[in-house]
Amino acid sequence: MKKPNYVEGIHALLQPDIVSMLTKIHEYKGQQKLYIEAESDTLTQLLEIAKIQSTEASNKIEGIYTSDDRIKKIVLDKTNPRNRSEQEIAGYRDVLATIHENYDYIPLRPGMILQLHRDLYKYSGSSIGGSYKNADNVIAEEDAQGNRFVRFQPVPAWETPDAIEFICAAYNEALQNPDADPLLLIPMFILDFLCIHPFNDGNGRMSRLLTLLLLYRSGYIVGKYISIEKIIEQSKDTYYEALQYSSENWHEGRNDYAPFVQYMLGVLVSAHREFASRVEVLSAKNLSKPERIREIIKGTLGRITKSEIMEQCPDISQVTVQRTLADLQSKGEIIKISGGRYTSYTWNRENEA
């Protein structure tokens, strides 16, 4: 694999829709700084919520689960992991905390990537943590009939150390160019990382942790307060589709980064919008608890579940949430969408003028 030229690749990405999203994110970044300075107490609540959501969602994408109660206890470090899944969840929690607290001191280097991967597996006792893959791997999928097929053939194991060295060097070199926007460089790097697929396991989770690290180092810290991993998990079909389109002809150096860049910029726009909305509701000190619940539902496009409302309002009891939902429903302000344990609610916009 030859060293990629990210600066050259950026020119092909300056399309109207991408430029528009870049402009929005730059504007949100300025607003975010003001919020952080003015609403420190509010942001502490968002930080705790995001830690839980990020750890849960990033592992869920890879099929690693535990109960809602257990995930909260593990993330808050109030229990020991009981099985392999919980060991991997605890590892993600620790690496996420390392990035949150020390991103300024974690440069993008192959050795740092290996250390983060090592810590991802520190509770499992697995020997794969902190080492590149020792055998060639494939990215496979199953169709609706259960037939398994290879979607992408990553870089072979023997070439992996050099490939990671190349993309780290290319990214750091491009970052020195004043015309190279980090918001474009980061998804390009992450796409290449995923195409290399450097580890026997944990590639997807590492890609999301590295995304946060690079965003934070470039001054985009919205992922501390709004779970970027959860937004990806909620749109994972689109995520995989964008990955597929952008990885076509990757080995030949003729792939199109645009689909994956567009997807990731869309995730960041969504995260910044949600950040502004949540800060606005939480900082409205004169709102009662039922009024805060009402504003959260009203400000949500689409559906929201009771558990999601409670995640956003950890200081409001389940009884209060349930009573408020029943009251809003009786007034016709919200619509209940039944689905058993997945029952959700949406704002009744037909009643709006």
Q: Say how far apart CA 221 and CA 224 lie, in whole Å.
A: 6
Predicted TM-score of the model (pTM): 0.85
Domain 286-351 has CATH 2.40.50.140: no
Number of C-alpha atoms within 13 angstroms, CB side, residue 344?
Answer: 11
Helix (H) or strand (E) holding 265: helix 258-282
DSSP 73-93: HHHTT-S---SHHHHHHHHHH
Boundaries of every domain in the chain: 7-281, 286-351
pLDDT (tens, 9 = 90+) of the chain, 353 residues, equals 767 889 989 989 999 999 999 999 999 888 777 777 666 666 887 888 899 999 999 999 999 989 888 998 999 888 899 999 999 999 999 999 999 999 999 999 999 999 999 999 999 888 899 999 999 998 887 766 777 778 889 999 999 999 999 999 999 999 999 989 999 999 999 999 999 999 999 999 999 999 999 999 999 999 999 999 999 999 999 999 999 999 999 999 999 999 999 999 999 999 999 888 878 776 665 788 898 899 888 878 788 998 888 877 777 888 999 999 999 999 999 999 987 777 899 999 787 65
Query: DSSP letter at 4?
Result: P
Do the beta carbons of residue 123 and residue 90 sit within 8 Å? yes
Task: Place domain 7-281 in its CATH homologous superfamily.
Answer: Fido-like domain (1.10.3290.10)
